[in-house]
Structure 1
């Protein structure tokens, strides 16, 4: 069986550990749409890892983790040809800052939700990241306590999937 981070509204399980997590404020959905605040059901590949090098040492992460630079953004504008992808400032479309002033995006696991064959409006920036506070809802991502997220990041394999159950 594939290595998996299994998520439901009650929490997560990874490598025999049960971990509290947060999901989207819109719950879990089978019909994800941009801005609905819901976490999409499915088996999502982990396709990348981003981190803040000014807050987290590279040595703490797998070698394939990529640093977040000061101009890094994520497009969430359905009219943007680069919708649901990493872009650079200045960017003339709606976007999220990847280098946030708070610690939520200090470490991000990128999923393949609506990627690489992006459908405008089907949802963007479905990440695994640090939670704001225990179980505080996200905008559609899955979020963990900082220490749990770092442990997950260190224990990923190339086959690890994020499995979200409805």
Structure 2
């Protein structure tokens, strides 16, 4: 997988996607709204079993109480944690569909460097062209197609040459998967 100005290139296709509201950066910091440049690997696949069939054999269901720690001062920074959890976190079992299916990347760990950014996922977008807080987001059919083909260790390349480009990759560009 390679992020391009037109979208996410995968297996000869270009999937329209959104990136962080601050574009791509080579100097990622927690809360900067940027998508980190570099070579990342897919390390996890989480899904809402109450909303979707299992997307791949290695997928792990998102349970009530599953959270992602985004507090740089906490030892669990940039990791899946369970409620109750006092440190700052994101709720993974959301009311909206954005995290119904989540490909987790190895950005910043393990071990995580405090403040270097957390929760860099591939997930469903809010709508075409709507930027993220640093993740890569796409249409649900494209995400399902991708999740069925990705496996642990799949590489995601976000070229440093994209740094400085604001907001969105593949704004309504790219091709929908045909199979």
For structure 2, the 5+ residue unaligned runs are 163-179
Residues 104 and 130 in structure 1, CA contact (< 8 A), matched pair in contact too? yes
Deviations 1:85-131 (A, max 9, x none): 00001101000000010000000000000011210000000000000
Helix, strand or coil at the partner of 2:99:
coil
> Quick one: structure 1 residues 18 and 124, their matched pair in 2 at CA, closer, same or farther if it must change by over 3 Å?
same
The match for 1:57 is 53
Deviations 1:125-146 (A, max 9, x none): 0000000000210000000100
- Stretches of 4+ aligned residues off by more than 3 angstroms: none
For structure 1, the 5+ residue unaligned runs are none
Partner of residue 21 from structure 1, selected from 13, 17, 41: 17
Provide the alpha-carbon RMSD of the alignment. 0.9
Partner of residue 128 from structure 2, selected from 106, 113, 134: 134
Residues 19 and 132 in structure 2, CA contact (< 8 A), matched pair in contact too? yes
Helix, strand or coil at the partner of 2:103:
strand
Helix, strand or coil at the partner of 2:144:
helix
Deviations 1:24-69 (A, max 9, x none): 00100000000000000011000010000110112xx111100000
Residues 6 and 14 in structure 2, CA contact (< 8 A), matched pair in contact too? no
Helix, strand or coil at the partner of 1:12:
strand
Partner of residue 7 from structure 2, selected from 3, 6, 11: 11
Tell me whether 1:145 sits opposite 2:139 in the alignment. Answer: yes
When the two structures are superposed, what TM-score results if normalisation uses the length of structure 1? 0.94
Cα offset, 1:159, TM superposition? 4.0
**How many residues of Structure 1 are paired with residues of Structure 2 in the alignment?**
160
When the two structures are superposed, what TM-score results if normalisation uses the length of structure 2? 0.87
Structure with the bigger RCO (C-alpha within 8 Å, sep 6+) is 2
Residues 6 and 164 in structure 1, CA contact (< 8 A), matched pair in contact too? yes
